[in-house]
Structure 1
């Protein structure tokens, strides 16, 4: 008897709360359109792009590193320096990786792909990949340094990186580089 009573009570609540056909779907769609989040988690495929870039930089395979860049990409550092265009980015990093950095490795990486629907400040709408990782670099003729870095990749409509914001502390980098002659 007790089970029957609980069943009837639950069924009554369920049926009493049910909306007319179509009403629930229309309301949910209208509510969703009104309350689009300013940002949301993006597809995990962007994490793989970030990881592949770090693996290519580690191995010195610069074609693999630049493969994910758009031709019109812009690369900004927190100190205000920048590179404009894929050829300039490739030239800078190829020279740095082949002639300045003996070895480089990345560990303890954390990635967060985000889709910005409604910019809240100066950021561009679209897909961003935020990355944090610990870098250890040994410089040719110098010593090594380890530090945490933060990087932001923005992707164009073709899933190519069109903007990078790279946050580094230049003090440990400069201290590890060989003295200038």
Structure 2
């Protein structure tokens, strides 16, 4: 009787663990994970604003006080420079790898000048950049990313309707481009 109860308990625990693994891995099998969805918004190395209302299959931003833009990128052809500046009350940036693991995050309070100026690169690319830092990167924050693909999410706060124009301009002018030292 004791071995039967042990077998049933082990079976139930095993079944529970199997179900948890299946549920957590389901997004990667269905193509509905965050990275795959971001890739469908358009070309890489460009910020795309998320809509604040559902329009067909367009991406949706659920918070009416937050405006969001996303950029899928690849480090295969060089590091990516994320840059944005403007008169907004608050902004935040999060960089994710292709498995949607957060690699880096910051906001306007932790930036050097209040503007977004970040360079995302592989460890090998960063070694070359750190040997001779170009003048345009002297105040940039250098972020190391192990993989070659990922995406960035840029958010800005819109506390009142009067901030909407500046928030929209901030996101529209944000750049997510391959860095070429000038």
TM-score, normalised relative to structure 2: 0.26
Is the radius of gyration larger for structure 1 or structure 2? 1
Structure number with the higher strand fraction is 1
TM-score, structure 1 length as denominator? 0.27
Higher helix share: 1
